[in-house]
Structure 1
Amino acid sequence: MREMLRFILKCIATVLFRVTMRGRTDQFHAERLLIVANHESFLDGVLLGLFLPVNPVFVVHSGIVRFRIFRLILSLCDYLPVDPMSPMAMKTVIRLIESGRPVVIFPEGRITVTGSLMKVYDGPAFVAAKTNATIIPIRLDGPARSYFSRLSGKYPRAIFPRITITVLAPTSIAMPEDGTARERRQKAGESMRHLMQEMLFASRPEQTLFSALCDAAAIHGRSRRLVEDVRQIEYSYGDLLKTSLALGRILTKQSGIGERIGVLLPNVMPTLCIVFGLNAFRRTPAMLNFTAGTGGMQAACSAACIRTVVTSRTFLEQGKLTDKVAALSGIQLLYLEDMKAALSLADKLWLIFWALRFPRQAAASHSPEDPAVVLFTSGSEGTPKGVVLSHRAILANIAQIRAVVDFSVDDKILNALPLFHSFGLTAGGLLPVLTGANTFLYPSPLHYRVIPELAYDRNCTVLLGTSTFLGNYAKFANPYDFYRLRYVIAGAEKLAEPVRSAWFEKFGIRIFEGYGATETAPVLAVNTPMAYRTGTVGQLLPGISAKLLPVAGIDRGGVLHVAGPNVMTGYLRATNPGVLEPPSSEAGEGWYDTGDIVEFDENNFVRIVGRVKRFAKVAGEMVSLETVEKLAFHASPAKLHASSTQPDPARGETIILYTTDRDLTRDHLQNAAKEGGWPEIAIPRTIIPVDTLPLLGTGKVDYVTLKTWAEKA
């Protein structure tokens, strides 16, 4: 009777919820089997009970069993009520697995209220390690959008949402050998958390940027307003689709399939739409850095073989860029102000009656491996290079971030980092649009008084920035300006300790420092509320492989090489225009050499030691220039400092410190070195006071200019 009822319910669920099973369902034959799944709704247990090819025992919270309706549902399967507060609870589960019964457990212990992975309990991991059970992770996607979930009213709901059940490859958790019983349990729990995060990432769908936009619009509804810019107009998914398709249609008339088109625009809604629109018709947007000057932009255009650039007359005039852009040779300029007039009657009819109704069919078909965008390295240490990122790379990085950070539809991201910057584009532009979060696009990170006021006025919950920018926001902000912020995420440069302290003392906010590179789309590691360690950049994101290769003369750590789905397709260099150079390093083909010397601690947190290029060889000893700057910050925390080198016939190289503190002396540095335990050799021979340090548009120190200063000093 039970089997017949299960069969009937399975047929009904398949039709109503359009349930799709992905992955291999022939791997449930292990002698000791533990099935773990994310917990999205009250439907989860029912769905697993109906669609799994085995008859498992479900571990359920004892409080659930008190309700008659749930007891009725649970009568369709075998279940074990467990009180999570009881120390004997997991021992019962261990005996059950050892008896040979498959067991299903939800490691989060409760239904998510964030839409993301919540706290993962140690108990299920301890059970898996103690029994040496085979673990099969299962991802449920869709139940959270039903009325059986516990998400807030802003989340999209449907009576019968489409549900996908993804079965991942079997794995296991080994019992840690070192430490006390409590420490071993915690380590096993950390392994389970990583396993769950890897599961969320590995079960991501195969998409392109435009198809991901269409999927997001279908899930959240075209009327959902989520993008706002300085015009203080909130744009909906419908607006984004319409503008993207219209701009893409116009630009296809000026370009060929696969052509790279330069985009020279600030942080406004049309910039995002051009990215989506060009991708919809198999053109590749190349995001030009308008702070790079004529030479930098010309080099970028040459490297990527760009012959057409989309820009705005208003933007060029307000940014005082008209003369710089006019000096570019071999470039055709297309202006946003002329786009509307370029839309013919046929284009409008196509848009209204075909493209907006069937956007997927209206767009050109292409592969996730096709180029999605070309970004350019900052040039902080040399000539900028074009970095080709595929749809796969960008969407993989978004999935990696979402697996460890709980961004939701209730969040509003304040993004003043330019969209030509990889961090600004991926985390501040594409991630919120493709996940249903709100975003406010602001055109300049340098408005230190305006941005805190915006965060307060627009109720922003997430702020992205560099250490330099965040330090300046802290100086000018009222202590109440950032009262709504849940996340302040720092990237692109090392977070200075005075900035970290200022934010905690003034606002009570902990900055989450991350790490990445343009070549990795960009995030590689980030601190999170569930995995945070001061002085590190967090743990590597799911799906990333890493190798440390030794460096002669440096004892700590090694050069970090990474591989993974978020790594670039390749470089475009000005010395070899238009020719793609696939990633390759000493670690092998497909690996990217970050150029950073890092070390991993016992819990796999990443600590940056310094950049290979930013070491000075003084009297035969390698000295990190970042150590010199840390020393200067310790001696003078309220000012800015940067170091460079110049040749020294006697000592190899001499370290020069540039500082905005005119009172800083070697005596101050020597005292600070004694207090902090820094080596004497890290104290610079020469200290040069300056009014301001040279900065790039991304907020990083311009070390190329600094090196030029040092050579002339």
Structure 2
Amino acid sequence: MFRPLSPLPTAWRSLLHAFVIQARRIPGRIAMRDSTGAKLTYSETLMRAAALSRVFARELGEEEYVGLMLPPMVPSAVANLALGLLGKVAVNLNYTTNQAMVDSAVEQCGIRKVITSARVLEKCHIRPKVDLVMLEDVPAKVRTTDKMFAAFTGKLAPMALLERLMPGLGTRKLDDLATVIFTSGSTGDPKGVMLTHRNILSNVHQVEEQIHLDDQEVILGILPFFHSFGYTIGLWTGLVLGKTVVYHFNPLDARTIGKLCDEHDVTLVAGTPSFTRMYLKSCSPQQFHALKHLLLGAEKLKDETYREIKEILKIEPMQGYGTTELSPVVAVNVPAPAKLPDGRTIYANRPGTVGLPVPGTAVKTVDPESGADLPPGATGLICVKGPQVMPGYLNKPEATAKVLIDGWYSTGDLGFVDQDGFLTITDRISRFSKIAGEMVPHVGVETAIMAAAGVDEHAVAVTAIPDPKHGERLCVLYTNLNATPDEIHRRLVAAGVPRLWIPSVRDFVSIEEVPITGTGKIDLRALRELAVRQPVA
């Protein structure tokens, strides 16, 4: 069911306009802080970004696309702002992937300069093959005139003058490109998703209308800026809406995260169910005493995890759904009443679904083969339309045309929309194998094997490998089965699992760990490569 979105505030002419408005409205409020102790008010953030933009102007010259390879901390947030004030397109590079993926992103954008730090290069062992601007060297390059400019623009200059002094304020409009975020490459080469100022501001506005954030909201920023959720929620939602963001560079560092949530009264945490279970095991519930919003995505929220969170934290987790191409939020559960277009008021949190689409978003399912629209409740390929839909992939018109048809984005995910408008995700179309003419879902096979083995997520992953007779066949990569493959095979047969869903015993492969991307998802490309490379039993 489509729910309309109220118009964007007229003052939101770009992401930078929206931020500067908040910096002038609430100059003394804390805008951002991080685990090193760094802390900036809104006024200080604007001044720091203004000064840094002057240094970057000298260092970067006329470059339009500028890479950043930095973790989510105060300096990297300010660096993104500084590039925005210059009118440049900031491209946050995935430092958790490999050299080839970074090289591809750099080449596709024509990036010739990347802002990074010695510490990042040392830890990630990736070095972009372009000129590097080291963040550690910046303080020595800040001139007295830069500081004077920052003080004037941060506190005194009217907006009209700021627009003349800062290209990003004077020339950038809603439909101009704000960033390029690269897909993980988990199913192929990474594609550059172009997101405009309108895309991101609309998604911020949609999230606000769905969740209704408090004025003094404190957001935990642990997802990297090369991740669309980390970029939109972790960076811009706070700055556009006047909230405080607390950054930490490692989402797996549960003890530090618990400490930050406790010390700074964090009210909103966004992550994955796996991350949350880690926090529950390593942190005291008291450390999350201020938590009101727990947004979970990227993987299915299992019933037992849902119950565990409710029991320990005394709040209802909000499972949601999004993709990079959609800026990224499409739908999210909210433990509160929601009024539907037909006049009914319902409870907007429905476990097992990913919630109601955010306002201004239309969702439908279509037949994967014919593309014909399907009725409510019918499982099909999920398509989304709304102001958060990307304009396309960078320099890839053919790839764009495959997924964007008449304004509808084809997500590649399978699911259905029920009579009340709640969206349920059942699988990803790329995670199917066609065996003997039947589509076999990898996730369904994984679920059956985990149930037979009595193991949890990330202990088993299913992919497909080439087969000379049938085109492809299922392969199970596992870290722990609590039984032999022969025994698991017998249990699957006894449980009545469809024959085509049961992999051959020879195609069970023991591995040290299931490959995961830097954003917590199974790396499907690495998984398939590992399966092809590994000898089978």
Normalising by structure 2, what TM-score?
A: 0.87
2:472 to 630, 653, 657: 653
2:137 to 316, 322, 338: 338
Tell me, yes or no, if the aligned pair for 1:498 and 1:638 is still in contact at 8 Å: no
Q: CA deviation at 1:631?
A: 2.3
Letter in 2 for 1:413: I
Q: 3-state SS of the aligned residue for 2:115?
A: strand
Q: CA deviation at 1:207?
A: 2.1
**1:348 lines up with 2:133 in the alignment:** no
Distance 1:208 1:647 in 2: 48
1:374 to 153, 156, 180: 180
Structure 2 vs 1, CA of residues 666 and 506 (structure 1 numbering), >3 Å: closer, same or farther? Answer: farther
Residue of structure 2 in register with 1:363 after alignment: 166
Distance 1:568 1:586 in 2: 11
Distance 1:339 1:582 in 2: 39
Structure 2 vs 1, CA of residues 313 and 684 (structure 1 numbering), >3 Å: closer, same or farther? Answer: same
Residue of structure 2 in register with 1:416 after alignment: 222
Q: 3-state SS of the aligned residue for 1:584?
A: helix
Q: Cα deviation per residue 1:34-76 (whole Å; 9 max; x = unaligned)?
A: xxxxxxxxxxxxxxxxxxxxxxxxxxxxxxxxxxxxxxxxxxx
Residue of structure 1 in register with 2:387 after alignment: 565
Residue of structure 1 in register with 2:528 after alignment: 707
Q: 3-state SS of the aligned residue for 2:456?
A: coil
Q: CA deviation at 1:254?
A: 3.2
Tell me, yes or no, if the aligned pair for 2:254 and 2:278 is still in contact at 8 Å: yes
Structure 2 vs 1, CA of residues 633 and 234 (structure 1 numbering), >3 Å: closer, same or farther? Answer: farther
Tell me, yes or no, if the aligned pair for 2:220 and 2:266 is still in contact at 8 Å: yes
Q: 3-state SS of the aligned residue for 1:481?
A: helix
Residue of structure 1 in register with 2:456 after alignment: 638
Report how many residues are paired: 506
Structure 2 vs 1, CA of residues 201 and 540 (structure 1 numbering), >3 Å: closer, same or farther? Answer: farther
Tell me, yes or no, if the aligned pair for 1:670 and 1:683 is still in contact at 8 Å: no
2:305 to 491, 496, 499: 499
Letter in 1 for 2:141: A
1:264 to 42, 62, 69: 69
Residue of structure 2 in register with 1:601 after alignment: 418
Q: Cα deviation per residue 1:86-127 (whole Å; 9 max; x = unaligned)?
A: xxxxxxxxxxxxxxxxxxxxxxxxxxxxxxxxxxxxxxxxxx
Letter in 2 for 1:345: T
Tell me, yes or no, if the aligned pair for 2:48 and 2:150 is still in contact at 8 Å: no
2:96 to 272, 287, 291: 291
**1:544 lines up with 2:361 in the alignment:** yes
Runs of 4+ in 1 over 6 A off after TM superposition: 672-675
Letter in 2 for 1:549: V
1:620 to 437, 444, 469: 437
Q: 3-state SS of the aligned residue for 2:394?
A: strand
Structure 2 vs 1, CA of residues 563 and 603 (structure 1 numbering), >3 Å: closer, same or farther? Answer: same
Q: CA deviation at 1:588?
A: 2.2
Q: How does 1:96-107 map to 2 (within 5 A)?
A: none
**1:461 lines up with 2:267 in the alignment:** yes
Distance 2:379 2:404 in 1: 16
Tell me, yes or no, if the aligned pair for 1:568 and 1:583 is still in contact at 8 Å: no
- Range moving further from structure 2, 246-255 or 230-239: 246-255
**1:275 lines up with 2:96 in the alignment:** no
Q: 3-state SS of the aligned residue for 1:480?
A: helix
Tell me, yes or no, if the aligned pair for 2:475 and 2:509 is still in contact at 8 Å: yes
Structure 1 residues not aligned, in runs of 5+: 1-190
Structure 2 vs 1, CA of residues 705 and 553 (structure 1 numbering), >3 Å: closer, same or farther? Answer: farther
Q: Cα deviation per residue 1:235-271 (whole Å; 9 max; x = unaligned)?
A: 1001110111111222122335570000111111121
Q: How does 1:421-570 map to 2 (within 5 A)?
A: 421-530=227-336, 531-552=348-369, 557-570=379-392
Letter in 2 for 1:701: I
Letter in 1 for 2:472: E
2:117 to 304, 307, 312: 312
Tell me, yes or no, if the aligned pair for 1:212 and 1:434 is still in contact at 8 Å: yes
Tell me, yes or no, if the aligned pair for 1:619 and 1:652 is still in contact at 8 Å: no
Structure 2 vs 1, CA of residues 280 and 639 (structure 1 numbering), >3 Å: closer, same or farther? Answer: closer
Distance 1:453 1:679 in 2: 47
Distance 2:518 2:42 in 1: 30
Q: 3-state SS of the aligned residue for 1:315?
A: helix
Structure 2 vs 1, CA of residues 250 and 470 (structure 1 numbering), >3 Å: closer, same or farther? Answer: same
Q: CA deviation at 1:508?
A: 3.6
Q: How does 1:55-454 map to 2 (within 5 A)?
A: 198-200=4-6, 205-219=11-25, 221-256=26-61, 259-317=64-122, 319-321=123-125, 324-325=126-127, 328-329=128-129, 331-354=130-153, 356-358=155-157, 360-361=162-163, 362-364=165-167, 365=170, 366-454=172-260
**1:696 lines up with 2:495 in the alignment:** no
Distance 1:480 1:671 in 2: 42
Q: RCO (CA 8 Å, sep 6+): is it higher in 1 or 2?
A: 2
Residue of structure 2 in register with 1:165 after alignment: none
Letter in 2 for 1:511: P
Letter in 1 for 2:401: S
Q: 3-state SS of the aligned residue for 2:286?
A: coil
Letter in 1 for 2:254: Y
CA RMSD of aligned residues (A): 2.7
Tell me, yes or no, if the aligned pair for 1:584 and 1:591 is still in contact at 8 Å: no
Q: How does 1:7-26 map to 2 (within 5 A)?
A: none
Residue of structure 2 in register with 1:43 after alignment: none
